[in-house]
Amino acid sequence: MARRHPAVRIAMRVTLALILLAIVAAAGTFAALSRGGEPQTEAHLGPQPRLAEPDTFPIPKVNAPDVIGWPAGKTPTAPAGFSVTRFAGDLDHPRWLYQLPNRDVLVAESSTLPKEPDSPVRRLLSWLRRNDGSTAERSANRITLLRDTDGDGVADVRSTFLDGLRQPFGMALLRPAAPYAVAPDAPPGTETMFYVANTDGVWRFPYRLGDTRITTSGEKILDLPAGGYNNHWTRNLLAAADGSKIYVTVGSAGNAGEYGLQVEHRRAAVLEVNPDGSGERLLASGIRNPNGLAVEPATGTLWTVVNERDVLGDDVSPDYLTRIRPGDFYGWPWSYWGRNVDDRVQPPRPDLVAKALRPDYSLGAHTAPLGLAFSTTFPEPYRGGAFIGEHGSWNRGDPVGYKVVYVPFANGMPSGKPRDFLTGFKPDPAGSTTYGRPAGVITDAAGGLLVADDAGNTVWRAAPAK
C-alpha cells in the first residue's frame, strides 16, 4: 500500500480538525439558540428554593426577547380591582423613578451602550441579544420631570429636569445641612440638594422645590468604578430616613470574576457615605449586582434585590431579595446561595465561602429583579409587602420575569410565594415577542404604583380602580 506524503497527511488532519470544530460550533450555536427548557416552578422560589446542579457548557443558552413595543390601546394587566394607565409615553429608555415632595415624578432615561465583544462567544451573545431592548447606540443621559396636575393618572406636564449626565440611575433629595431629611410636606421654594448617581460617580445639585428644571452647576461628591458586565453600569441611591447616610449600589465588573478580582474593588457591594460623600464604608459585599434599595417599614431594615450570575444553567443561581446589614457578605464570586461553590472562580477561597450568608428569599434564577418598593397604602392583599420589577431573562430556555410581582411580608420578613401583580409584557409567556420590560418601581403619594418600562419607553401607573 502506498504511503501518503507527509504534507497530505497534515492537510487531512487539519481538515478533520476543522470539521470537528465546525460540528462543535454548530452544536454550541444550536444550544445557544435553543428555546426549550423546563418551566420555573414555585419550588425554585422563596426562602428555601430547590437548587439545580450547575451546567457549565461553554456556550450558554440564549432566549433573548424580541422587543416590538406596545400596540395602540394595549396596556399591562393588573389584578381585578386595579386600573392601569399610561402615565407617560414616548420616553427614551426610562430606567428609574423618584417622586419629589410635591408629587412631581422624576424619570432617569439612560441606556446600556454597545461595546466591542472580547471573544467569539460574546460576539454571538451580542448578536442574539441585538433586539432585547437593553442596548442603544446612544443614551439619553437625562432626567425628565413628569407632573399630573389633574390627578387622572396621566402626566400632563413634562420638562427636562437635568441633562448632560452619564447614564444616570438612582436619585435622592436631602437638605443642604443637618437635619438632612426633607419633610414630605416641605413647601415650594424649600432649598434642597438633589443627588443623582451616574455610572462613574455621585453628584449633587442645589435645587429649589417646585422648580421644573435644575440650571445650577453640581459637584461630584463620590467617584465610582464605571461600566460593567451586561447592565452593571447602574448605580442606585437611597438616603437613610434621617438623611444622615446615603447608600449606593455598585454591581460587579464581571459575571463571575473573569476579569480578575483586582477590578472588583468597591464593587459587588452596597456602599455607605455621608451626604457630602465622605466617610465611605463597605456596608455589605459579595452581592453580584444589587439594584433596588428600600426600607421595610415595620422594622426599618434595609433590603435589596440582586441579579445573580449567568451561564450556570436554567435554574442556577437564584436572583434574590435580601436584607442588608453592616458586614453582610453574600459569597460572590466564590459561592452562590450561601455556600454553594462556583468552581469557575480561581483561586478558590474556602475561608470566604464559609462566611457567606444565604439570601433571605429566592425570586428564581434569571428573573432579573431591578425595582423594589414596599407597599404601605395599597389595599389588602397588597399591603405591607414588596413590589419588585422583574426585567426578564435571556440566559434561560423557558423565559421568566417580564412582570411586576408582589412578595407578602409579615413581622418584617417575606411570608409567602410571589404573586403576579402587573403582567402582559410578553403576549406569549413562552415566546420571544415582548412589548416591554419593567425596571424601576415606586409607590406614589396618590396611592398608585409607577413602573418604568424601559423597553416600552413608557411609565405605567397601576392603582385601585375608582
Q: Would you tell me how many other CB atoms lie within 10 Å of the CB of residue 203?
A: 21
Q: What is the largest CA-CA distance in the chain?
A: 99
> Going along 178-280, which residue ranges are E strands?
191-198, 201-208, 219-223, 237-239, 246-250, 269-273
Q: Which residue has the cell 431573562?
A: 393
| Domain 8-34+52-464 part of CATH 2.120.10.30 | yes
Distance CA 182, CA 185 (A): 8
CB neighbour list of residue 78: distance below 8 Å, 6 or more residues apart: 84, 421, 422, 462
375: cell is 407597599
Q: From first to last of its 466 residues, what are the pLDDT tens digits of the chain?
A: 444 455 544 554 544 444 433 433 443 444 455 556 789 999 999 999 999 999 877 777 888 999 999 999 999 999 999 999 999 999 999 999 999 999 999 999 999 887 777 677 677 777 777 888 888 888 999 999 999 999 999 999 999 999 999 999 999 999 999 999 999 999 999 999 999 999 999 999 999 999 999 999 999 999 999 988 877 999 999 999 999 999 999 999 999 999 999 999 999 999 999 999 999 999 999 999 999 999 999 999 999 999 999 999 999 999 999 999 999 999 999 999 999 999 999 999 999 999 999 999 999 999 999 999 999 999 999 999 999 999 999 989 999 999 999 999 999 999 999 999 999 999 999 899 999 999 999 999 999 999 999 999 999 999 999 8
> Going along 209-300, which residue ranges are E strands?
219-223, 237-239, 246-250, 269-273, 281-285, 290-296
- Residue among 142, 138, 153 nearest 94 (CA): 142
Q: Please state the φ and ψ torsions of residue 194, each to the nearest 5 degrees.
A: -100, 125
User: Residue 406 is inside which H or E element, if any?
Assistant: strand 403-407
Computed from CA positions of residues 356, 359, 363, 367, in that sequence, does the dihedral angle turn out positive or negative? negative
Q: Is the peptide bond before 333 cis (omega within 30 degrees of 0)?
A: yes
H-helix segments, 2-78: 6-33
SS3 47: coil
Question: What's residue 30's pLDDT?
Answer: 42
Q: Could you report how far apart the first and last alpha carbons of the chain are, in Å?
A: 92
> Are the C-beta atoms of residues 111 and 135 closer than 8 Å to each other?
yes
> Are the C-beta atoms of residues 65 and 133 closer than 8 Å to each other?
yes
213: cell is 428644571
Question: What's residue 20's pLDDT?
Answer: 38
Question: What's residue 81's pLDDT?
Answer: 96
Distance CA 246, CA 15 (A): 61
Q: 3: buried, middle or exposed (CB in 10 Å: 19+, 13-18, 0-12)?
A: exposed
CB neighbour list of residue 113: distance below 8 Å, 6 or more residues apart: 135, 136, 137, 138, 139, 167
Distance CA 282, CA 14 (A): 53
DSSP lists the bridge partners of residue 106 as 98, 145
SS3 286: coil
Distance CA 309, CA 337 (A): 11
61: cell is 443558552
> Are the C-beta atoms of residues 318 and 49 closer than 8 Å to each other?
yes
Distance CA 373, CA 171 (A): 14
Question: What's residue 133's pLDDT?
Answer: 85
Global pTM? 0.91
- Residue among 154, 148, 141, 159 nearest 96 (CA): 141
- Residue among 428, 439, 415 nearest 108 (CA): 439
User: Residue 120 is inside which H or E element, if any?
Assistant: helix 120-128
Distance CA 191, CA 207 (A): 6
Distance CA 121, CA 20 (A): 18
> Are the C-beta atoms of residues 458 and 94 closer than 8 Å to each other?
yes
DSSP character at residue 321: E
